[in-house]
Structure 1
């Protein structure tokens, strides 16, 4: 006698969206930079991937992509911080043809937003975060 089981229909679940705001899933977007397989090709891509690293709590990536001259000795993330979105407002330089660039962005979190102009440079061919200037508004 054949045994019958009830089955719930399987769901086609799409991979989690990337926190950086670009279309696509995390693994194919910022996740590939976080894993160390490839480096971010521009200052904006590095900015987006660093934001995503804050969202997912990837301290190792944040330290690895921080300029050696400005990198803190220790980086502790607030486990209660909930980032909710990234908006790129302006980019200057920072492409494959530049050695430096800036990205102005607004990163929203539960209860507020961080508005910053970040500076990036290439070190040994890879983009790194140098520092940032907090902006009003």
Structure 2
């Protein structure tokens, strides 16, 4: 899966409102993905910090792409578990997102997502498990 394929997955999987996030693929491999979430005031609460709901959606999207890259195809999948820790509010600059797989089985994949602010500090850490339909 290359950057072009990731963009296609983003366009196919994301609802129109989530496409407005402007996620930019940086790299992708069978072990994970790196993306950038550009800062936009449209993604923020009244205090100018990116909304936790936006960050949770980005974690979900990152894991879906990481699982898809690991299995080499896009299959319907759903999270069965996601634990998200919001460590620091992001009030400016892009968020750098990395997701990697820790376990992959026939119908289940588990991994971690880490989001860093522009200074390199952890803003969000999530662990997740997804179930996939058979190919």
Smaller-chain TM-score bracket: 0.3 to 0.5
Which protein is bigger by CA-based radius of gyration? 1
Q: Which has the higher contact order (CA 8 A, sep 6+)?
A: 2
TM-score, normalisation: structure 1? 0.34
